[in-house]
Amino acid sequence: MPGKPSKHLETFPNPRPGRDYEVSFEIPEFTCLCPRTGQPDFATLRIRYIPGRLCVELKSLKLYVWSFRDEGHFHEEVTNRILDDLVNLLDPKELTVVGDFNVRGGIHTIVTASHPRRD
């Protein structure tokens, strides 16, 4: 039986904290609802980050992404919310979330939200 959607994200310690490296995820089945019409919006999420002390655990990320399925969100808001949640959880050196939303009404929307590198 699959798990249930959850907003609870989990972490594990960065296995190489002395080295900067990039972690990338592509999530091609992101779904939320249009807040105006209630129709589903489909997107590919791309998450890229350079870890600080922590990394995000993948099963919790999957359940977190699933939790948006029945919620109404504008593309801009949901992309920035995911960025904020991951930055607050991980305190990464750098993190970018790209929401590449399928065409709706003849418009293809791509939203890119970034957390800059801190030195």
Which tokens in the block code for residue 20?
A: 């900067």
pTM for this entry:
0.94
Could you please report the per-residue DSSP string of 61-82? HHHHHHTTTTSB--HHHHHHHH
By annotation, the residues acting in catalysis are 34, 41
Statement: residue 111 has pLDDT above 60: yes
**pLDDT (tens digit per residue) in 24-72:** 999 999 999 999 999 999 999 999 999 999 999 999 999 999 999 999 9
Cβ atoms of 82 and 45 closer than 8 Å: yes
pLDDT on residue 53: 97
The class level of CATH for 21-107 reads: alpha beta
Q: C-alpha angle with apex 14: 56 to 19, nearest 5 degrees?
A: 125
User: Would you kindly state where each structural domain of the chain is located, as residue ranges?
Assistant: 21-107
Which pLDDT band holds residue 116 (cuts at 50, 70, 90)? confident
C-alpha–C-alpha distance, residues 73 and 79, integer Å = 9
